[in-house]
Structures are given as structure tokens and as C-alpha cells.
Amino acid sequence: MFGITPSARLRPSPYFEATLKEGVCAFTTYNHMLMPTSYGHPLEEYWRLINGVSQWDVAVERQVQLRGPDAGKLAQILAPRDLSKCNVGQGKYVPLCNHQGVLINDPILLKLADDLYWLSIADSNIWFWARAIAAERGLRVEVSEPDVSPMAIQGPKAVDVVAHVCGEWIRDLKYFWFRETQIQGIPVVVARSGWSKQGGYEIYLRDGTKGTQLWNIFREAGAPWGIGPGNPNWSERVESGLISFGGDTDDQTNPFEVRMGKYIDLHVPDDTIGIQALRRIHAEGPRRHSLGVILDEGEPVVPGFLWNPLFKDGEKVGHLTNTVFSIRVQKNLGFALISRACAVGDRVEALVNGKMERGVLTELPFL
Amino acid sequence: MFGITPSARLRPSPYFEATLKEGVCAFTTYNHMLMPTSYGHPLEEYWRLINGVSQWDVAVERQVQLRGPDAGKLAQILAPRDLSKCNVGQGKYVPLCNHQGVLINDPILLKLADDLYWLSIADSNIWFWARAIAAERGLRVEVSEPDVSPMAIQGPKAVDVVAHVCGEWIRDLKYFWFRETQIQGIPVVVARSGWSKQGGYEIYLRDGTKGTQLWNIFREAGAPWGIGPGNPNWSERVESGLISFGGDTDDQTNPFEVRMGKYIDLHVPDDTIGIQALRRIHAEGPRRHSLGVILDEGEPVVPGFLWNPLFKDGEKVGHLTNTVFSIRVQKNLGFALISRACAVGDRVEALVNGKMERGVLTELPFL
């Protein structure tokens, strides 16, 4: 583990001071910001998410704000998913593609008003992308980065904590839906969402000066339920089959290869970026697909930084895009982005840190 | 200093293993890769650059490759600098702007052939940008990221080391010009360039499997000149007035504000992105400009992550975008991005890590 040199290119989040107090000890960078990745107690952090309630600084999920009379038009041009029936207060998971049908991000779209949308993005620069398209097509829309920084409350007890802070109405919020509100005077958007399969909410802070205050409100309110710090959890997300854009995708990946086909509507307007390519890929069938891998090795395997080449009968058939020792399964699990000639049950080998690891292909998710 | 969690979103460079052997101890992230920022001996690393020769892993300077019959046309559309007289083998520093004239990157453009250009970029996603523009305008050009990873040899003795490895011809290479060649069979491009004012070369490795080999060739060849590891040096670059895109610029900065006006040609074709806005800004005059600041405080000031607000007569007039204790000047120096109402000689105050630091505005560069 190496140090990170401070730089104005890597912004801390509004929750930075609060996470320092919680004992954060490692970060990743994401959208030119620092995101906590460890508080030094991986088992506690994992079980808190699975059985209790966990508090995450996910301010790195930045918002690409589309505002103006053509905001809805631009949203539909960017997203190959039918947004015509999306309501104000509704969120939708929208894979974004380039003109070749290659995935360039997979944000949650939030429709705040007919002329105001947010794309709550994964780790790639969609401001540049959206501005280029808006300007080239002469649309009346401003693309900006508002002062909005999500914090996630995740785990089976999240609903009780968030209800305690925000009110009982949050229990009826449908998945991905949201509401604009205030918490002790702090402007927020509360959404039922989050990058885990354990349930929970994301609190979109709308005033970056109030990060510590908002953090502490949930920290104190959650104490009876044993709330504590955490972050998007590598073991849980692999067990749950959650794709990490840029981690499990490369610059050739289309949505059909990574189990996102159900979020693509082939009937969207012809001026939607990538839709011609996506229709063609859908008709021909993608060349790769995403499967699980369970390694034979019983001891935790350390994956390193890069994708690991994956072989079947000595022939390279794809990549192992991540590996983690699953705490609940007690095995090394990973995702394969692999030729469609390979199927569940096939034996494969992955070259991980110079050692050939054997394993078997499985369905996703694992749990 | 915190740890960096390994992730496939953050690639190591082809020189990663070599830099580990050299004792790298801290990184920053840049274009979704890790860049060494310290080998633990800051004074040695500094003086080696100023008086000797320093070897840098700058593979994070990624290439946006434009290839095809419209490659030159796209390059000119992206860059508000006249490229009509750019020769094959010539490089040019080209600020890139969006349609509003806001700086989005400041790469070196390398013209490898009439139908092949590289943009050797700073830290923002120009692949997405260039692909969006190329597709929207229907240009016959492929935008890709080739297997190219620069290593820099910098300092007054760099010329002797590079001549020893590559041949005497490199002494006659003009600034920013380059040549395609091989080093012991390894395909490279050798350019006279680098992010310091101490002179030197950048060796663009064209085979990512040969990073350690290329590193060691220069390490061994440079031994008689005392070569050793280094990286873009914060103290030297501030002394020399070198702008860091994303560090010293924000999402409102235009080239005229940060001393890049001489690289803008207002007569470029009307379809060049941002040129209308740049002509208007030039006519009206930019609102901010970039000056140096020398702080009164004699002990090193630690700047933290963010820009520091800058005040004159109690009124906020801009930001201190960086601060460093200069080794040669033996004072705290920084850059101000500041209202044009402020001028050289003005007294200012900067709020740095909660403490008000007094100082004076100066010309740039400092040395």
C-alpha cells in the first residue's frame, strides 16, 4: 500500500473530515475525488453491511446536471433506455453508450423536474460527453456539476435509521425513487438506492459546507442500530454480482455483454446515441458475456491491479475482471468477461499474479 | 498520507515494477493510472533535476490517437491553434477548449503522419470528447488509446544520456520535435519535451511489455551522469511557472487567464470548437489572470488539497491554486488565479489550512 500525494486535481469530499474522525485509512480515486475504501476493520465493516447498517461517503458519485428546456431531450439522446414514462421523483438506472454502442458510464438518472435531470455517475467524465453532444446538436440545455454529494446508508437496518431521521414516509419509497427534503435545515434529496444488495438509501447533500453536520446526524441517530463507517464493499458487491464500470468493463464493452441488456430499449428514438449499434449487436448477439468464477484455491487469492487472462483448455477465452475472497461463501469468487463459447460449468484457468488458478464458471450473482 | 486500494480502474504503468525497485513510496492518480510522486528523498530528487539528470515514469501522459483520412481535420477542429503548417515529426502544445472557450486539456500534439496524430494529454478524458465530436460531425477518423507510455529524461545532463542511448542526432532535435526509432529493438518515439524547464526528452514506449527493459537501459546508460528516479517536481514546476491542468484551472478557466494566449490563433477556421467564444473573450479581455504569490511566512506552508481563497483589502479576489516551499528561492511560492483588478506588487492574504498567510503578487515564472 502506497501513499497518495495531495493535489488540487483530487478533491476531498464534504465528508472528508468526518471520515478522518471515523479512522479512514485507505482511499481510491474516482471522478477526481478521494473515496474511502477502508477503516481498517474489514470483517466488522462487512458484517455491519450484511446484518446491520453502514454509513458510506460516496460523494464521488458526482452529478451531471442537465437544466433547460431541452434537458429531457438531451437525457434521452444520451440514454438508450426509454425515458418517456419517467416521472418527476423517479430514478432510473441508465447505461450510457458511445456511438459504437460501447458503455461509457452507468449512472442513475434522477428526474427532478421536466427541465432538470441529474445523472449520478460512475467513474468517467460525462460532463465533457454531455456538453459535446448538447453543443454539437444545438440543444438549449446547461450541463454543469452542482454542489451535490451523496452519502449512503446501507444494510437491512438502514430503513429504520433513515425513517428515524427523515420520517416514516421513506418506508414507502419505491426502489430508485426519491424526494427533495431537508434534514435539520440541510437541503437533501433522499433516494432509495445504493451500490449494495442489502437495501438502503442515498442522501444527496445539496450544501457541501454541511458534510460533517449531516454525517454526524446519521451517526448519532443510527447508534441504537449499531451504525458504523463503511464503503462500497468489494466482497458484498462481488457476491451480489454488481458490475463496476471501468473495473469490470473495458473500452470495447457493450451493455449486452455485462448483463445490462434489460436496461436497453431498442425502440428509443433514432437520434439516441449508440442505438443503431446496439440494435445491430443485439441482432447479431454479443461476442462476450459475464459469468461468475469460483476458484478451487481455498486460501484468499490477491488479485493485483490488472485484469487476469482467463484460459479454457489452454486457449485464452477472456478475462477475470475481479477476484475477492467471499466472506459468506468462504471461497475466492470473481467475474469472467468471456467468450460466449464458454458456459456455466466449464473448467477454466486464470493467471493471477503469476500463478495459474483453476476454477469453474457459474451463474451470477453468487448470492 | 493514506493508502491507495488496488483497483482495475487504476492501472499501473509499464514502468511500475521498475519504479518499485527504485523505491517509489507515493503516487497520485492521473488519467486512471498511478503516477509516482515520491521516492522518499525530496531534496536529492530536486537537485538531480536541477543539476543532473532525472528519470520519470510519466506513462500517465496517455495518447489520444486520431487515425484516418480526417485525422488532421479533427485535430484542427479540437485545437484553437493553427496546425496548417505543422510538419510530420513536429509537436505543438495545444490548449483544447469546449464550445464556451473553457480549457478542457492542454496536450502536446504530435503529427506522426498526415493521417495519424497523437494528443499526449493532461488529466482529463479527451477520448470521450474527441469521439463525440468525430461521430457528431461524421468524420472518417478512429479515436483510440494506443499502447504508448512516455518516460521522461529531464535535467541539464539529459541530453548526454539520451545521446549516449539514441545517438548524437538527438542533440539537433528542436523543442517539441520528435522522431520514431528503436532502442535495442524496442519501438519508441523520442521527443525533445518534458514537464520541467530544465531541458530533456520524452521517450514514448510503444510496447507496454518492455517497460522494465527500457527503464533499465536508461538507468544503466545514465549511471556515469548520476541518473536517478524522479517525477514531475512540484517545487521546480512552481518556480518555473508551469500550469497543471485541473490543478491550477477550474471548470471556468479559459486559456487567456492562465498565460496560454500565445498558443491560441484567433484566425483558425470557424468550425474549430470554442473559437467564437475565444474571439469574444479576447476582445472583451479575460476577467482573471495568473500571477505569482510570494508568502511572507518563512517556514514551509502545507497547502492541503483544495484551492485557498485569496483576499485583497479584506475582499475575496481569487484563489491561490498551489503553494510550495521553493528549494532555490527558500520562500513559499504559489500561483494566484485572480481578478485582473489585482496587479504585481499588490499585497494579498490567503487562507491556507485555516491560517491567514500574507504575501505579495509577482510576475511568473519565479525563476
Residue A92 counted as domain residue? yes
**Calpha distance A185→A101 (Å, rounded):** 43
Which residues 238-297 in chain A show a CB within 8 A of chain B?
Answer: 244, 246-248, 251, 273
> Cβ contacts (< 8 Å) between B98 and chain A: which residues?
128, 131-132, 135
Q: Give me the half-sphere count of Cα atoms (radius 13 Å) on the Cβ side of residue A315.
A: 6
Residue A247 counted as domain residue? no
Which residues 92-111 in chain B show a CB within 8 A of chain A?
Answer: 98-99, 104
pTM: 0.96
Please indicate, yes or no, whether residues A33 and A159 belong to a single structural domain of this protein. Answer: yes
How many domains are contained in chain B? 2
Report the 3 state secondary structure along A275-300.
HHHHHHHHHHCCCEEEEEEEECCCCC
Residue range(s) defining the domain that contains residue A265: 63-124+254-284
Q: Are strands A288-295 and A355-362 parallel, antiparallel or unpaired?
A: antiparallel
Mean residue pLDDT of chain B comes to 96
Which residue out of A128, A141, A209, A324 would a mutagenesis test of the B interface target, given it has the greatest number of B Cβ atoms within 10 Å?
A128
Residue A363 counted as domain residue? yes
Contact A247 B322 (CB under 8 A): no
Q: What is the ipTM of this complex?
A: 0.94
Residue A86 in grid coordinates: 419517467
More confident residue, A2 or A92: A92
Contact A305 B1 (CB under 8 A): no
Percentage of residues in chain A having pLDDT higher than 90 = 95
CATH of the domain at B334: 2.40.30.110
Residue B114 counted as domain residue? no
Please indicate, yes or no, whether residues A58 and A174 belong to a single structural domain of this protein. Answer: yes
Please indicate, yes or no, whether residues B311 and B199 belong to a single structural domain of this protein. Answer: no
Distance in Å, alpha carbon of A135 to nearest chain B alpha carbon: 7
Which residues 308-367 in chain B show a CB within 8 A of chain A?
Answer: 321-322
Question: Given a cut of 70, is residue B1 above it in pLDDT?
Answer: no
For chain A, what is the largest distance between any 2 Cα atoms, rounded to a whole number of angstroms?
62
Going by C-beta distance under 8 Å and a sequence separation of 6 or more, which residues neighbour residue B334?
Answer: B238, B292, B293, B295, B303, B320, B321, B322, B323, B324, B350, B359
Please indicate, yes or no, whether residues B293 and B229 belong to a single structural domain of this protein. Answer: no
> Cβ contacts (< 8 Å) between A246 and chain B: which residues?
8-9, 32
Q: Please give the average per-residue pLDDT across B119-142, as a whole number.
A: 98
Residue in chain A lying closest to B34 (CA): A4
Residue A306 pLDDT level (bands cut at 50, 70, 90): confident
**Calpha distance A310→A323 (Å, rounded):** 12
pLDDT of amino acid A283? 98
Residue A343 in grid coordinates: 458456459
> Cβ contacts (< 8 Å) between A305 and chain B: which residues?
6-8, 10-12, 34
pLDDT digits (tens, 9 = 90+) for B305-331: 789 999 999 999 999 999 999 999 999
Domain boundary among B237, B269, B301: B237
**Calpha distance B95→B105 (Å, rounded):** 6
Q: Please give the average per-residue pLDDT across A250-275, as a whole number.
A: 97
Q: Please give the average per-residue pLDDT across A211-238, as a whole number.
A: 97
> Cβ contacts (< 8 Å) between A145 and chain B: which residues?
251
Nearest to A286 by CA among A366, A348, A341: A341
Q: Please give the average per-residue pLDDT across B291-314, as a whole number.
A: 92
pLDDT of amino acid A4? 83
- On whether the CB atoms of residues A156 and A193 are closer than 8 A, the answer is no
pLDDT of amino acid A57? 98
Nearest to A276 by CA among B135, B139, B143: B135
Residue A232 in grid coordinates: 462500497
Residue B175 counted as domain residue? yes
Question: Given a cut of 90, is residue B113 above it in pLDDT?
Answer: yes
Please indicate, yes or no, whether residues A180 and A53 belong to a single structural domain of this protein. Answer: yes
Among A6, A135, A305, the residue with its CB nearest the CB of B12 is: A305
Residue in chain B lying closest to A322 (CA): B8
Please indicate, yes or no, whether residues A54 and A182 belong to a single structural domain of this protein. Answer: yes
CATH of the domain at B225: 3.30.1360.120
Please indicate, yes or no, whether residues A90 and A56 belong to a single structural domain of this protein. Answer: no
Please indicate, yes or no, whether residues A152 and A226 belong to a single structural domain of this protein. Answer: yes
Residue B107 counted as domain residue? no
Nearest to B53 by CA among B127, B149, B143, B158: B158
Residue B256 counted as domain residue? no
Contact A10 B248 (CB under 8 A): no
Which residue out of A1, A2, A63 would a mutagenesis test of the B interface target, given it has the greatest number of B Cβ atoms within 10 Å?
A2
Residue in chain A lying closest to B302 (CA): A6
pLDDT of amino acid B3? 81
pLDDT of amino acid A332? 97
Residue A353 pLDDT level (bands cut at 50, 70, 90): confident
Q: How many CB pairs (< 8 A) connect A and B?
A: 158
Please indicate, yes or no, whether residues A152 and A229 belong to a single structural domain of this protein. Answer: yes
pLDDT of amino acid A1? 58
Nearest to A323 by CA among A315, A313, A331: A331
pLDDT of amino acid B354? 86
Q: Please give the average per-residue pLDDT across B50-60, as a whole number.
A: 98
**Calpha distance A174→A89 (Å, rounded):** 10
Which residue out of A17, A29, A145 would a mutagenesis test of the B interface target, given it has the greatest number of B Cβ atoms within 10 Å?
A29
Please indicate, yes or no, whether residues B43 and B156 belong to a single structural domain of this protein. Answer: yes
pLDDT digits (tens, 9 = 90+) for B195-211: 999 999 999 999 999 99
Please indicate, yes or no, whether residues A233 and A154 belong to a single structural domain of this protein. Answer: yes
> Is A306 part of the contact surface with chain B (CB cutoff 8 Å)?
yes
Mean residue pLDDT of chain A comes to 96
Residue B5 pLDDT level (bands cut at 50, 70, 90): confident
Residue A215 counted as domain residue? yes
Residue in chain A lying closest to B272 (CA): A136
Nearest to A93 by CA among A4, A175, A197: A175
Please indicate, yes or no, whether residues A183 and A214 belong to a single structural domain of this protein. Answer: yes
